Amino acid sequence: MKRDNESSETRSGNSWYCWVLVATLCLVQMVPIVLLYNYTSFFQVPVAEGLGVSYTSFSIGSTFGSLGGMLFGLVLAGKLGRGNIRRWMTTCMLISAVLVFLQVFMDAIWQYWVIRFLISFVFSGVTYIPINTLLDRWFAKSKGLAIGIVYSGAGIGGMILSPLLKQWIDVFGWREAYAIIGCICLVMVIVIFLFVRNSPKDLGILPYGMNENTSKNDEAQTLESSALLEPKGLNRAEALRTASMWLLVLCVFGSGIIASGVSTQLPTYIAETGEDYSIVMVFFSCGMIVSSLVLGPVFDRFGVKTGGTAICIVVLFALLGFLISPAYGVALSCIGAVLISFNCISNFVANILNGKLFGTLDFAGCFGVLNVAYMAGCMAGAPLVAAIRMETGAYDIAWVVLIAITVLMEVTMLASISSGKKLPEHWHE
């Protein structure tokens, strides 16, 4: 009996490696995601001028990229979840690096479109689907904190790499900048291979917070999280036949609309009010870090319903701030920029509810659907807000529309939770 206890303590005590994994995934958010996804706009002017095309032609690459990411979520997400995620991430990072190097040799815009499609398709095997699947496998407790730390990496990486990327392009040229990014991606291949592990079982340990020697007070949580050891749940086809999945899809889709609509149009809106948009965008970047670190403990302490509601309330205040900010100056816009960065439905609510409603049997496959919904929302958000601005001559109606979408997010989230209460009764291995 004593030997069994010692074995259990050893397996639980070694769960510090969970935080090594978190640090690695945070680094993935900080570097390749920022360089390959978040700052493609830095190349718009030099690439368009170098290839002799319009900015509009360059921006079409973003559409091809979104389609590539959506296709991966629909076709390969389930296979990734059933396979070895370490191998998937390593292989996809390597192929992504090769594709980045191909951009050095582009001499026609159609080549850029094709490469952006391929990069987004392949790089999806490194980003949100595998990251969220790994966090679900490795954390029975403090999952919100882990999610927050990982996704704060994008904000930190943006603040560090934004001036560096601009300098690389200005000093060396856009082709050389792509070569530098390709080399960085090759380094990340090594990092992922060394530190990512498919599941705690690979190291003979338990998920973080799951201790076999639990007290009676911890028994309920241990039983609730036992699916992390023995995967149970619904497969993607079964989940898609539930109202909970489609309600959650609507919620995440709305979050994508707001994320894209605000981030792409906010600089123009601030400029039209006569203020310096660069100051506001600094607050937006800082807010991305703060929001991730603040929301993690909130979700751990109060649960997904309270955490998700808190997100919607904060986003509502942000949009109301944008609506009335012309009368109060740039200070209110800066506050709104910080608050709008709390629109983390896709990071927290989608991740946590996906596991609670549909289990771990096909977590990646189900999350792939939600990731597609978010990307579809992002594709719709920017043109929606821009079109409203063009038709009405101002952004006021656009903010009102986004406020209505925020309310819809709250309603669909609560309805998804309510309608899915009995879903765990139908889980299977």
Q: Which domains does the chain have, with CATH numbers?
A: 11-198 (1.20.1250.20), 229-421 (1.20.1250.20)
- Measured torsion, CA atoms of residues 268, 272, 278, 279, in degrees rounded to the nearest 10: -130
How crowded is the C-beta side of 14, counted as CA atoms within 13 Å? 12
Please compute the mean of the pLDDT values over residues 57-70 and round it to a whole number: 90
Q: Which residue has the higher pLDDT, 41 or 185?
A: 185
Please compute the mean of the pLDDT values over residues 178-205 and round it to a whole number: 95
Where does residue 162 rank: exposed (0-12), middle (13-18), buried (19+ CB within 10 A)?
middle
Helix (H) or strand (E) holding 330: helix 330-340
Would you say residue 3 has pLDDT above 80?
Answer: no
Please compute the mean of the pLDDT values over residues 166-177 and round it to a whole number: 94
State how far the Cα of 367 lies from the Cα of 373, in Å rounded to an integer.
10
Lowest mean pLDDT across 71-85, 169-183, 270-284 = 270-284
Would you say residue 429 has pLDDT above 80?
Answer: yes
Residues 6+ apart with CB under 8 A from 191: 24, 27
Per-residue buried b or exposed e for 110-120, using 16+ beta carbons within 10 Å of the residue's own CB: eebbbbbbbbb
Q: Which residue has the higher pLDDT, 163 or 89?
A: 89
Q: Which residue has the higher pLDDT, 285 or 84?
A: 84
Lowest mean pLDDT across 20-34, 118-132, 267-281, 320-334 = 267-281
Would you say residue 101 has pLDDT above 60?
Answer: yes
Q: What are the φ/ψ torsions at residue 231 (nearest 5 degrees)?
A: -55, 125
Residue closest to 357 by CA, chosen among 228, 242, 218, 220: 242
pLDDT recorded at residue 115: 97
Percent of the chain surpassing pLDDT 90: 69
pLDDT recorded at residue 176: 97
* Mean pLDDT score of the chain: 89
pLDDT recorded at residue 332: 85
Residue 268 has which token pair? 């123009």
pLDDT recorded at residue 14: 58
> Measured at the alpha carbon of residue 138, what is the angle toward residues 132 and 144, in degrees to the nearest 5?
60
Q: Which residue has the higher pLDDT, 94 or 154?
A: 94
Q: Looking up tokens 């292989």, which residue turns up?
A: 91
pLDDT recorded at residue 189: 98
Please compute the mean of the pLDDT values over residues 190-200 and round it to a whole number: 95
Would you say residue 10 has pLDDT above 90?
Answer: no
State how far the Cα of 277 lies from the Cα of 388, in Å rounded to an integer.
20
Q: Are 292 and 149 in contact (CB under 8 A)?
A: yes
Would you say residue 4 has pLDDT above 50?
Answer: no
pLDDT in tens, 13-23: 457 899 999 99
pLDDT recorded at residue 24: 97
Please compute the mean of the pLDDT values over residues 370-374 and round it to a whole number: 95
Predicted TM-score of the model (pTM): 0.87
Residues 6+ apart with CB under 8 A from 109: 51, 53, 57, 58, 60
Would you say residue 265 has pLDDT above 80?
Answer: yes
pLDDT recorded at residue 229: 61
Would you say residue 11 has pLDDT above 80?
Answer: no
Would you say residue 372 has pLDDT above 90?
Answer: yes
pLDDT in tens, 198-251: 999 888 888 898 764 444 444 444 444 444 467 899 999 999 999 999 999 999
State how far the Cα of 63 lies from the Cα of 66, in Å rounded to an integer.
5
pLDDT recorded at residue 251: 98
Q: Which residue has the higher pLDDT, 344 or 221?
A: 344
Local confidence band at 41 (pLDDT 50, 70, 90 cut-offs): confident
Residues 6+ apart with CB under 8 A from 329: 275
Would you say residue 158 has pLDDT above 90?
Answer: no
pLDDT recorded at residue 211: 66
Q: What is the three-class DSSP state of 111?
A: helix
State how far the Cα of 30 lies from the Cα of 288, in Å rounded to an integer.
12
Would you say residue 2 has pLDDT above 80?
Answer: no
State how far the Cα of 68 lies from the Cα of 40, in Å rounded to an integer.
15
Q: Which residue has the higher pLDDT, 268 or 124?
A: 124
Q: What is the three-class DSSP state of 329?
A: coil
